[in-house]
Amino acid sequence: MRATYNRYDLNFKKPSGTSRGILKTKETWFINVISDEGMGIGECGILRGLSIDDRTDYEDQLKYTCANIDKGLEFLLTENVEFPSIQIGLEMAFMSLTSKSPFVLFPSEFTEGTDAIPINGLIWMGTKTFMKQQIREKIEAGFKCIKMKIGAIDFETELGLLKSIRENFSKSDIELRVDANGAFKPSEAMDKLKRLSELQLHSIEQPIRQGQYESMAKLCETTPLPIALDEELIGVFSLTEKKELLQAINPQYIILKPSFIGGFRGSDDWIALAEEQSIGWWITSALESNVGLNAIAQYTYLKQNDIPQGLGTGSLFTNNFDSPLQVKNGTLRYDTNNEWKFNL
């Protein structure tokens, strides 16, 4: 058995705004595992500036991992505890190697094309006009759940955009989620949560920056609007640390990005701990190519969580790989009539 790795840069169709700046390209890496049985493909979905494994020795770790591929998955997962994006790439590659099809890792009604996953429509930060345009497009495309990133432009403007949706669509028509990406200061967060709650939102992701456990716990205890932890889960490696974090903060929801939190096994740990505490959860992609999105979507479907998931990012790039994945009427589907075109 041997393995190789290579880098691939995804180009956004439109520069995408977050509270941390404008994204024009997205770096990703692929691991290819080769044996007498064939070849397995895995994507290491790192996001510079956010992933815990955004380190100068990232490529060195990929090189080490490929050089030791014959030591097996269990050994390599342990060796990559601090590199969650490499962990999920390895999980994908080893499953891909032994699957009947290299891109069907978790067979189900989803991969057979007979069932779909409800997803949210993502509204990127930008000017009021641009955000309003995105909202209109998502509603026209049949989305019943819209997630809007906030925190980059004036809060009053963002509030106005949300109000304009509610003036035309009730809570039963459109579910609204917002993602602050830690943009609020602890001193102002509660006031903003109260104002947002008047618009009957589903939840807010990461209102304040991660690592402020005491402030976040207080917010979660008294909030008028359900809070979902996102970045807060990044860099928490051991099962004990995960349990302590959830017990300390006790959020209403957690959001799982498998590429950031130890792949599928890491996600399994978080889900089990959350359910022990009656904490809700959903799964979100992290700007992977269709290769990584495909694996995460297949994994997500098996969890049978019926609330909208965050898996609608495949159409953001000009140079993504053609795949059976299709967004239709607010759902992600696997169209078995479409073939994979994976060329590097």
Instruction: Please indicate, yes or no, whether the overall pTM of this predicted structure exceeds 0.75.
Output: yes
The band of 18, judged by pLDDT with boundaries at 50, 70 and 90, is low
139: its two tokens = 């509603």
Give me the residues paired with residue 34 across strands: 2, 39
The H or E element spanning position 294 is helix 290-303
Measured distance CA(151)–CA(223) in Å, rounded: 18
pLDDT digits (tens, 9 = 90+) for 227-268: 999 999 999 999 999 999 999 999 999 999 999 999 999 999
pLDDT exceeds cutoff 70 at 20: no
DSSP state letter for 289: -
pLDDT digits (tens, 9 = 90+) for 173-189: 899 999 998 989 999 99
pLDDT exceeds cutoff 90 at 289: yes
Nearest CA among 341, 42, 98 for reference residue 107:
98
Measured distance CA(199)–CA(324) in Å, rounded: 37
pLDDT exceeds cutoff 90 at 29: yes
Section 41-55 average pLDDT: 95
Nearest CA among 189, 104, 99, 100 for reference residue 150:
189
Section 301-322 average pLDDT: 93
Q: What is the pLDDT of residue 154?
A: 86
Section 302-310 average pLDDT: 96
The band of 17, judged by pLDDT with boundaries at 50, 70 and 90, is low
Measured distance CA(275)–CA(180) in Å, rounded: 24
The torsion angles phi and psi of 320, rounded to 5 degrees, stand at: -75, 165
Q: What is the pLDDT of residue 265?
A: 97
pLDDT exceeds cutoff 80 at 153: no
Burial of 210 (0-12, 13-18, 19+ CB in 10 A): middle
Q: Which domains does the chain have, with CATH numbers?
A: 2-98 (3.30.390.10), 117-334 (3.20.20.120)
The answer to whether the CB of 338 falls within 8 A of the CB of 318 is no
pLDDT exceeds cutoff 80 at 327: yes
pLDDT exceeds cutoff 90 at 193: yes
Measured distance CA(221)–CA(225) in Å, rounded: 10
The H or E element spanning position 117 is strand 117-118
Q: Regarding predicted confidence, which is higher, 153 or 204? A: 204
Measured distance CA(181)–CA(165) in Å, rounded: 21
Measured distance CA(112)–CA(54) in Å, rounded: 36
pLDDT exceeds cutoff 60 at 336: yes
Q: Regarding predicted confidence, which is higher, 238 or 124? A: 238
Which residue reads 């342990």 in tokens? 78
Q: Which residues contact 156 (CB under 8 A, 6 or more apart)?
A: none
303 among known catalytic residues: no
Measured distance CA(318)–CA(17) in Å, rounded: 17
Neighbours of 182 (CB within 10 A): 21
Measured distance CA(237)–CA(83) in Å, rounded: 10
Measured distance CA(302)–CA(190) in Å, rounded: 36
pLDDT exceeds cutoff 90 at 2: yes
Section 71-93 average pLDDT: 98
Section 137-166 average pLDDT: 88
Which of 28-32, 199-203, 339-343 has the lowest average pLDDT? 339-343
Neighbours of 20 (CB within 10 A): 14
Q: What is the pLDDT of residue 323?
A: 96
The band of 19, judged by pLDDT with boundaries at 50, 70 and 90, is low
Section 214-236 average pLDDT: 97
pLDDT exceeds cutoff 80 at 21: no
Section 82-93 average pLDDT: 98
Which residue in the list 26, 149, 192, 242 is annotated as catalytic?
149
Section 61-84 average pLDDT: 98
194 among known catalytic residues: no
The answer to whether the CB of 149 falls within 8 A of the CB of 125 is yes
Give the chain's mean pLDDT. Answer: 94
Q: What is the pLDDT of residue 104?
A: 98
